[in-house]
């Protein structure tokens, strides 16, 4: 790795991932609205406010975060103060660190490190873990219920997430994301890519709280779920970390299952098309499904994800043992 280029890339990826994460969030919102024939209000922007907040709704997810950053933060008296306050910041830190190990077209970043796949996976997992610990420390029964649902969903979704990634790693005999994203000579057959990619996509539904797996934040049932007691900067920080997690999950999916779209700047147009298609599929699933009961979601994951995960491992080991030609 060229140290200077790596440092410059790390600096550049922060605004890039923020912008793309916000755009992905906006696209999910916009597609959901259009699929449901929701036009929304006609907004006329005051001329004196336009230079400050802009005249487009594309950045609405970012506007929401900035609005929260300017509001007062209330800390419940019953909360475990340190854990309650530090959890959003830890979630944000881990989500930002994760993107440094996931390549972007033309920028390997730290994905060339031999064990970058393990590091990125654990950082994403750690970020989500702090979305559970903070609400548990809030002292709110609604936060506790939301955190419990989050933990139960986390346990089953994580299985598909980890197995799908490491199935490809086993077949390609590498734990470097850059190697997995750029080595066309050892590209696994379509069967493994389809099975592991489907497993990863289903895991993303739970990790990103896409319907029918949005029960941790079911407003009509448990207020705001894990975030019931959060407000101001702390709530804005949690939402910001979710933006980075969305970018990280999309980028990781493309790097692992759609090589070589992340391996060079020349692939940027195809990378953009793949990202938009993935967001489109997430939005379609979001619109077509109602919210599951938590027990139904767990049962669904056990019936669908566990067999897919096992099949992914079987196909991966078949490549390693030479039963299938790569």
Query: With the CA atoms of 157, 206, 277 and 21 taken in that order, what torsion angle do they form, in degrees rounded to the nearest 10?
Result: -110
Average pLDDT of the residues in 279-305: 84
Average pLDDT of the residues in 235-252: 94
pLDDT at residue 187 in the model:
47
pLDDT at residue 111 in the model:
94
Residues 238, 247: Cα–Cα separation, whole Å: 15
Average pLDDT of the residues in 197-201: 91
Residues 257, 176: Cα–Cα separation, whole Å: 14
The distance of Cα 31 from the centroid of its chain, to the nearest Å, equals 18
Residues 300, 205: Cα–Cα separation, whole Å: 12
Residues 267, 276: Cα–Cα separation, whole Å: 14
Average pLDDT of the residues in 128-152: 81
What average pLDDT does the structure give for the chain? 84
Residue 139 has pLDDT above 80, yes or no: no
Residues 291, 120: Cα–Cα separation, whole Å: 29
Average pLDDT of the residues in 204-220: 76
Three-state SS for the chain is CCHHHHHHHHHHHHHHHHHHHHHHHHHHHHHHHHHCCCCCCCCCCCCCCHHHHCCCCCCHHHHHHHHHHCCCCCCCCCCCHHHHHHHHHHHHHHHHHHHCCCCECCECCCCCCCCHHHHHHHHHHHHHHHHHHHHHCCCCHHHHHHHHHHHHHHHHHHHHHHHHHHHHHHHHCCCCHHHHHHCCCCCCCHHHHHHHHHHHHHHHHHHCCCCCCCHHHCHHHHCCHHHCCCCHHHHHHHHHHHHHHHHHHHHHHHHHHCCCCCCCHHHHHHHHHHHHHHHHHHHHHHHHCCCCCHHHHHHHHHHHHHHHHHHHHHHHHHHHCCCCCC
Cβ within 8 Å of residue 15, ≥6 positions away: none
Residue 53 has pLDDT above 90, yes or no: no
The reported pTM is 0.88
Average pLDDT of the residues in 207-222: 72
Residue 62 has pLDDT above 90, yes or no: no
Closest CA to 178 of 272, 264, 269, 277: 264
| Confidence tier at 182 by pLDDT (50, 70, 90) | confident
**104 pairs with which residues across the strands?**
107
């Amino acid at each position: 790795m060229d140290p200077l280029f790596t440092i410059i890339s790390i600096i550049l990826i922060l605004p890039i991932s923020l912008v793309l994460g916000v755009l992905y969030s906006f696209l999910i919102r916009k597609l959901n609205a259009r699929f449901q024939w929701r036009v929304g209000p006609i907004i006329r922007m005051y001329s004196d406010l336009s230079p400050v907040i802009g005249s487009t709704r594309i950045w609405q997810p970012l506007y929401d975060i900035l609005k929260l950053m300017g509001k007062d933060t209330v800390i419940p008296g019953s909360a475990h103060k340190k854990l309650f306050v530090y959890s959003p910041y830890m979630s944000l830190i881990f989500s930002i660190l994760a993107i440094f190990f996931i390549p972007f077209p033309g920028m390997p970043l730290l994905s060339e490190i031999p064990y970058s796949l393990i590091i990125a996976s654990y950082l994403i997992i750690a970020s989500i873990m702090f979305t559970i610990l903070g609400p548990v420390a809030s002292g709110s029964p609604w936060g506790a219920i939301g955190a419990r649902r989050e933990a139960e969903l986390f346990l089953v979704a994580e299985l598909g997430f980890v197995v799908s990634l490491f199935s490809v790693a086993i077949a390609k005999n590498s734990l470097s994301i850059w190697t997995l994203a750029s080595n066309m000579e050892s590209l696994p057959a379509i069967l493994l890519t389809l099975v592991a990619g489907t497993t990863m996509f289903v895991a993303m539904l739970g990790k990103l709280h896409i319907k029918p797996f949005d029960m941790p934040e079911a407003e009509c049932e448990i207020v705001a779920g894990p975030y019931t007691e959060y407000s101001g900067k702390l709530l804005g920080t949690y939402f910001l970390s979710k933006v980075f997690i969305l970018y990280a999950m999309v980028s990781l999916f493309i790097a692992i299952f759609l090589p070589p779209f992340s391996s060079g700047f020349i692939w940027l147009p195809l990378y953009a098309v793949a990202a938009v298609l993935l967001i489109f599929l997430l939005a379609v699933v979001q619109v077509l499904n109602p919210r599951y009961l938590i027990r139904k979601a767990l049962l669904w994951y056990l019936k669908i994800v566990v067999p897919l995960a096992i099949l992914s491992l079987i196909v991966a080991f078949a490549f390693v043992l030479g039963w299938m030609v790569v």
